[in-house]
Amino acid sequence: MIAALRYEFLMQIRRPVMWIVYGLAFAALVATMWPAYRTLDLGSGGGHDPKLAMVVSAKVTMSLLAIVYGCLLADRLIRDRRLGVATIMDASSANPLGRLIGKYAGVCAATAAPIALAFFGRAVVYAIAEGKAEALAWSVPVFATAILPGLAFLGALALAGPLLMPPLVFRVLFVAYWFWGNLIPADMMPTLSHTIFAATGDYVAYGLFDRGSEGGFVYGPWPDAALNFLRPEASPAVAVLWMGVMVALAAGILLLARLHAARSEH
């Protein structure tokens, strides 16, 4: 597992195309969301509070870069089969499940590195510009709780999805899923957006970091929206539940991917 993790991480982190695509996506993010990115304020005064500024920064960063993250991962698990080395690796003494976990952890960590760089880089700029060094301290728990669990789930989904369809088709569907299941208003159509199955980290933002609490806003069910039973009111317990759901979904997808691979071998 450790060997696979190290190999996959180094191979992915050295891919020039990954940094180029992330660079273009980051430029598009800044251009299209400049007011929110500049002030780190989505209407609740968060730009003046280091904690809430980091929460807004996490949301803005994930809004577009998560798409790049998923699309870049879409060909990594099937690469061994395409190159014809999967059978050789299966014949080795390495445990297949351990190798899968190592591949998942290594390639996801490398692909998430530019997201971490963008997020923590913005935290440094905010701390210097606003003279509030505490933003750096808040950035660590915000990243760990509001971003990482979602990336864990999206990484597993992006690795396993192309086992069932061509990578190009998966990428198109992944982009559609990201907007439908995470970003659109919940009352627009039946959607997983703003539920505990959305990967945006909103339940952590409102449940753990009190985003919007000053205005008395309660994050939860939307008026006249379908699937409101999946939108409990935000609280610390629900935030922890959301993190658990993301990790559980990632583990379940990886297990299904391993079972699919074992079935294909026979």
The per-residue pLDDT for 214 is 52
How many other CB atoms are there within 10 angstroms of residue 207's CB atom?
24
- Residues near 249 by Cβ (< 8 Å), separated by ≥ 6? 153, 156, 157, 197
Give the closest residue to 114 by CA, choosing from 199, 29, 193, 206: 29
- Residues near 55 by Cβ (< 8 Å), separated by ≥ 6? 46, 142, 146, 205, 209, 211
Contact (Cβ atoms closer than 8 angstroms) between residue 239 and residue 145 = yes
Q: What is the rounded distance in angstroms from the CA atom of residue 207 to the CA atom of residue 225?
A: 21
Q: Domain range for residue 196?
A: 2-265
What are the 10-residue block averages of pLDDT along the chain, 266 residues in total? 89 95 96 90 69 94 96 84 57 73 94 97 95 95 97 96 92 97 94 96 93 68 93 95 98 91 68
- DSSP 3-state assignment of 126? helix
The per-residue pLDDT for 29 is 95
Q: What is the rounded distance in angstroms from the CA atom of residue 106 to the CA atom of residue 116?
A: 15
Residue for token pair 């695509």? 21
Residue 177 in tokens: 């899923």
Residue 81 in tokens: 């089969």
Segments in the chain forming alpha helices (H): 2-13, 16-32, 34-39, 50-73, 79-83, 86-90, 96-130, 134-142, 148-160, 167-178, 202-207, 236-265
Q: What is the rounded distance in angstroms from the CA atom of residue 202 to the CA atom of residue 193?
A: 10
Calculated CA dihedral for residues 214, 146, 153, 235, nearest 10 degrees: -40
The per-residue pLDDT for 89 is 55
The per-residue pLDDT for 77 is 79
The per-residue pLDDT for 213 is 58
The per-residue pLDDT for 92 is 57
Q: How far apart are the first and last CA of the chain?
A: 23
Number of structural domains the chain divides into: 1
